């Protein structure tokens, strides 16, 4: 049984609007990229900006597949496995800047079109992530928003953690810290000083306090906390696990699959 509450129709529309705004900001950032800029390293080790954009595009396609499944109750064709998705990312990353930007726009706009066409009851249907964990179809909106906001930052085009919308930061902190608490992460409590929120995580460990976007930057592996520029001066913090993690307690698991 999940502790995650159902999302209202108004909440669904709000999430679709959030994804739309994030996608538009991404489109603005990449519209004028040259081929040379696309081949430059991204913030993710071993990936160029082209790889990052290709990943966003293929992920959006995967979310479209899930929404179609939730709407019809039938698989909308074969589902690529993790290896096939990895190959698709490599192939898509090799496109010209103009073609890749067009592909990203196509994928995200198709996802948003599918989301807007979803009947309200279908949003509560359970679908299965490639890694084998299940979630309601509405959680796909959160996943897509997280995909766009996180990888927009990874492109290194000036979109930083401070540019993340506060509503997204608050949701992502709630989601991430609930999972870390369930896994006994060695952190006593966390306070997002700008959001008026705090979370008790475990009985042991340090207490950290910072703006919400700084906390999420650290928990998502985008901000290092083991250097002189640590956002938590004088506090030794544990290394967060790979991010994102499936929600805890979640909605159950099915067998098979690797990846997101």
User: What confidence tens digit (pLDDT) does each residue in 130-168 have?
Assistant: 999 999 999 999 999 999 999 999 999 999 999 999 999
Q: Which of 145, 191, 137, 153 lies closest to 171, judged by CA?
A: 145
Per-residue pLDDT tens digits for 200-257: 999 989 999 999 999 999 999 998 876 666 788 888 899 999 999 999 878 987 643 3
Q: Residue 105: phi, psi to the nearest 5?
A: -60, -45
Distance of CA 167 to the CA centre of its chain: 14
Provide the pLDDT for residue 260.
45
Rg (CA), the chain: 18
Provide the pLDDT for residue 7.
82
**Helices and strands in the chain, H and E counts:** 8, 5
Whole-angstrom distance between the N-terminal and C-terminal Cα of the chain? 21
Distance CA 121, CA 117 (A): 12
Per-residue pLDDT tens digits for 212-226: 999 999 999 998 876
Architecture of domain 166-248: 2-Layer Sandwich (3.30)
Provide the pLDDT for residue 249.
79
Q: Which residues is 135 bridged to in the sheet?
A: 127
Q: Residue 33: phi, psi to the nearest 5?
A: -60, 140
Contact 157, 124 (CB under 8 A): no
Q: Is the dihedral of CA 222, 228, 233, 239 positive or negative?
A: positive
Least confident window among 42-56, 76-90, 97-111, 225-239 = 225-239
Distance CA 23, CA 41 (A): 22
Place of tokens 């954009």: 53
Percent of the chain with pLDDT over 70: 94
Q: Which residues is 133 bridged to in the sheet?
A: 253
Cα torsion 88, 93, 96, 98 to 10°: value is: 90
Q: In CATH, which of 3.40.190.10, 3.40.630.30, 1.10.490.10, 1.20.120.450 is domain 9-159?
A: 1.20.120.450
Confidence of residue 6 (pLDDT cuts 50, 70, 90): confident
Domain positions in the chain are: 9-159, 166-248
């Amino acid at each position: 049984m999940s502790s995650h509450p159902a999302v209202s129709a108004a909440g669904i529309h709000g999430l679709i609007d959030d994804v739309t705004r994030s996608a538009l900001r991404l489109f603005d950032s990449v519209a004028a990229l040259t081929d040379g800029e696309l081949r430059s390293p991204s913030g993710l080790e071993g990936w160029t900006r082209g790889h990052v954009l290709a990943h966003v595009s293929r992920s959006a396609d995967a979310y479209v597949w899930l929404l179609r499944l939730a709407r019809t109750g039938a698989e909308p064709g074969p589902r690529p496995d993790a290896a096939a998705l990895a190959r698709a990312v490599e192939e898509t990353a090799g496109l010209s800047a103009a073609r890749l930007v067009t592909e990203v726009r196509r994928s995200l706009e198709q996802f948003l079109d599918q989301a807007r066409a979803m009947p309200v009851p279908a949003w509560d249907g359970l679908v299965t992530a490639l890694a084998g964990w299940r979630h309601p179809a509405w959680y796909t909106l959160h996943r897509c928003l997280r995909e766009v906001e996180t990888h927009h930052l990874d492109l290194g085009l000036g979109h930083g953690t401070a540019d993340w919308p506060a509503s997204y930061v608050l949701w992502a902190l709630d989601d991430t810290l609930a999972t870390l608490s369930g896994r006994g992460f060695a952190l006593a409590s966390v306070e997002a000083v700008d959001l008026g929120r705090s979370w008790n995580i475990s009985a042991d460990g340090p207490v950290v306090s910072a703006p919400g976007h700084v906390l999420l930057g650290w928990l998502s592996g985008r901000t290092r906390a083991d250097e002189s520029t640590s956002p938590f001066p004088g506090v030794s913090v544990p290394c967060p696990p790979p991010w994102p993690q499936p929600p805890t307690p979640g909605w159950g698991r099915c067998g098979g699959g690797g990846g997101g």
